[in-house]
Amino acid sequence: MHRIQLHYTLDRDAGDALIRNPLLDMLQAVAQQGSISGAARALGLSYRHVWGALKRWEEQLGSELIVWGKGQSAQLSEFGAKLLWAERQAQARLAPQIEALHADLERAFAVAFDDHAHVLTLYASHDDALSVLRAFAAVPGHAGQGRALHLDIRFTGSVDAIRALNEGRCTIAGFHTLEQPAMDSLAAQTYRPLLQPGLHKVIGFARRTQGLIVARGNPLGLASLADVARTGARFVNRPLGTGTRVLLADLMAQAGLESGDIDGYGRDEPSHAALAQAIAAGSADVGMGIELAARARGLDFVPLVHERYHLACLKSTLEQPATRALRDLLQTPAWQRRMAAMPGYAPMHCGEVLAMSRVLPWWRFARRKSAGAHQHASP
């Protein structure tokens, strides 16, 4: 039985991996470069160091990691490839928990290094743009006035995020809906009891594209949910309580499909990244997710709908310094350029406080008489 030890480092630029492992970094480099010398150059290490480290790990693990024939490039052994696959799968599936641990550590050190830093707790439906935003906001100056903004982000389902907001466990909640959700949609039924005019405010964040994540080349020729049902493609879902699960149910209702029509509807993965990794590994054919997760793993993407990703807060916290700092940051050209460069994303009323009746149009506010005329009461 091999045991796992976790380590972390403090660095101004720690890279984009959630948890780093030097062995897996080397295996990945060898797989990409086709040689130990190429891997060493990519990692900024000496050939001797990489060769020696791989040999030590082979002795410790009891199996060879690299194989090559005469005149052939270096390749991962079957065992090495399985190790790399297992690590990718684990990181993808555990991403929300790892990011929560990451946020806890960063929050503690943010206060230790700068007790004047803004700290804002945000529960949100899993979204890669928020992970990028967290790193962007942590740079002093991006948040304005030379002060860093530390975003303590906990990824959870949209429903759980808004409940956390209402229970006082966070200041901001991230959730998403279709651009114009119908009055009788599952989204309306789900979010109407949780968000109340006069109590909550909605801040614009992004327009993003959701669709079908499929293998490279889309070998099954999937273009719609109806195709998924017709072909019997192996589907992988998102968990109950997530905004994507709500969105999928609405799209299936529009297509006249039921859960039994989709092979694998009951199987789920905890994040867009984990869902994409399952397809990349060949254990599923298709899933509903965001374009960025597909592109990051070399998969193809079939766009189905555009949606709005919203940030909600209580009206009473809208002008608090940390919330104000976030709103100001979201409206900067630098952040909006950064978001626009991400596949499947576009800034949309980013940082603006929006009328709830505009973005959640199932709300119909009571009319009142004024000077003999009927007027809409404002949210």
Helix H segments across 62-137?
78-93, 95-113, 128-137
Domain 22-93 class, CATH top level: mainly alpha
145: left (phi over 0), alpha (psi -120 to 50) or beta: left
Q: Which residues pair with 300 in a beta bridge?
A: 214
Three-class secondary structure of residue 117 per DSSP: coil
- The residues, any chain, with a CB within 8 Å of residue 297's CB and separated by 6 or more, are 276, 277, 279, 280
Domain 95-359 class, CATH top level: alpha beta
Per-residue pLDDT of the chain (379 residues; tens, 9 = 90+): 455 666 655 555 545 555 677 888 888 888 888 888 888 999 999 989 988 999 888 888 888 998 876 666 788 888 888 888 787 777 777 776 777 677 667 666 766 666 677 889 999 988 889 989 988 988 777 755 567 788 989 889 999 999 999 999 999 999 999 988 888 899 999 999 999 998 999 999 999 999 999 999 999 999 999 999 999 999 999 999 999 999 999 999 999 999 999 999 999 998 898 999 999 989 999 999 999 999 999 999 999 999 999 999 999 999 999 999 999 999 999 999 999 999 999 999 999 999 888 889 887 644 444 444 444 434 4
**CA nearest neighbour of 175 among 212, 235, 122, 222:** 122
CA dist., res. 166 & res. 108, Å (int): 24
Tell me the residue length of the chain: 379
Look-up of token digits 């928020």:
130
Q: Which residues pair with 345 in a beta bridge?
A: 208
Domain ranges of the chain: 22-93, 95-359
pTM of the model: 0.72
List b or e across 128-149, with b for residues whose CB sees 16 or more CB atoms inside 10 angstroms: bbbbbbbebbbeeebbeeebbb
Give the DSSP letter string of 240-254: TTSHHHHHHHHHHHH
- The residues, any chain, with a CB within 8 Å of residue 120's CB and separated by 6 or more, are 149, 150, 151, 152, 171, 172, 322, 323, 325, 326
CB count in 10 Å sphere of residue 72:
9
HEC sequence for 294-318: HHHCCCEEEEEEEEEEEEEEEHHHC
CA dist., res. 259 & res. 239, Å (int): 14
- The residues, any chain, with a CB within 8 Å of residue 215's CB and separated by 6 or more, are 279, 280, 282, 285, 299, 300
Predicted local confidence at residue 5, as pLDDT: 64
Predicted local confidence at residue 81, as pLDDT: 85
Q: Kindly give the interhelix angle for 243-254 and 158-166, rounded to the nearest 10 degrees.
A: 130
Distance from CA of residue 132 to its chain's centroid? Answer: 9
**CA nearest neighbour of 350 among 327, 317, 322, 324:** 327
Q: Which residues pair with 336 in a beta bridge?
A: none
